[in-house]
Amino acid sequence: MRRLVALLAATAAVLLLTASPAAAHVLLAKAQPNGDGSTTLTFTFDHGCGESPTTELIVSLPAGATPATRTGQPAGWKATTEPSRVAWTGPGLKAGAEAAFSLTTRLTGTIGQPLRFPTVQRCASGEAYEWTDPQPGDEHPAPSLIATGAILAPAPTVTRAAPAPPPGTGGAATLPQALGALALFVVTATTAAALVGHRRRRRPADSDAPEATTP
């Protein structure tokens, strides 16, 4: 009986040790919309690499996210922002000491789309956990969330330029238009002059002479 209890205890200890990395993964604990299209993401963990404290945390941003504009970290830690990731380094966080790291970015995508943040956790001993697996149930799942309308940045408004008016509908007259107007003027003037001359020819030559009287 004692041997059976000891065997069961040993088996349970092995199972806990095997599951501990997956059970103690880095979490995306909070996604806070800021009302200006940006979202502040908070990552937490409370473990090191066994007994070795954590000295670095690197979070990669999903495709379409903008570089982080603000960061938050425990006292003594500093953040280095790159276009597609944020890296925090510090004096070391021992197992059991819960820590929170935050970054502010603009997320793009579609509602219902999973957004993953592959993360690397490095420790003072040189060991590291790579939390990069795509599914939450995997051994080393990447921190992730499901996109909602509240956390996604609004799509940019596309302003279309008004089409240019076709020739002849406005603006300065073109050369063909000017020539056409000139030709119309010449024809009109010529026609008017011809009418005036014709009327003059039809007047009687003696229209101004006095009428003859009958005896």
pLDDT tens per residue, range 51-101: 999 999 999 999 999 999 999 999 999 999 999 999 999 999 988 888 999
**150 or 168: which leads in pLDDT:** 150
Position 96 scores a pLDDT of: 86
Distance CA 137, CA 173 (A): 72
How high is the pLDDT of residue 151? 96
* Average pLDDT score over residue span 166-194: 55
User: The tokens of 93 are what?
Assistant: 């966080």
Instruction: Write down the pLDDT at residue 98.
Output: 87
Assign 118 a pLDDT band (cuts: 50, 70, 90): very high
Q: Is the pLDDT of residue 169 over 80?
A: no
Domain boundaries, the chain: 22-146
Mean local confidence (pLDDT), 110-133: 97
CA 71, chain centre distance (Å): 20
The alpha carbon torsion through 174, 178, 180, 186 (nearest 10 deg) reads: 180
**Category of 34 on φ-ψ map: left (φ > 0), alpha (ψ -120 to 50) or beta:** alpha
Provide the Cα torsion 78, 122, 141, 88; round to 10°. 10
Residue 156 binned pLDDT confidence (cut-offs 50, 70, 90): confident
* Mean pLDDT for the stretch of residues 11-17: 30
Q: CA–CA separation, 11 vs 9, rounded Å?
A: 5
Q: What is the CA radius of gyration of the chain?
A: 43
pLDDT digits (tens, 9 = 90+) for 175-187: 555 555 555 555 4
Give 102 or 193, the one with higher predicted confidence. Answer: 102
Residue 4's pLDDT is what?
36
Q: Would you state the structure tokens that stand for residue 179, as one six-digit string?
A: 């020539």
pLDDT for residue 178:
52
**Which amino acid is located at 146 in the chain?**
I
22-146 topology per CATH? Immunoglobulin-like (2.60.40)
Distances (CA, A) of 90 to 40, 50, 53, 80, 152: 21, 18, 10, 11, 31
User: Scanning the structure block, which residue is given the tokens 């940045």?
Assistant: 153
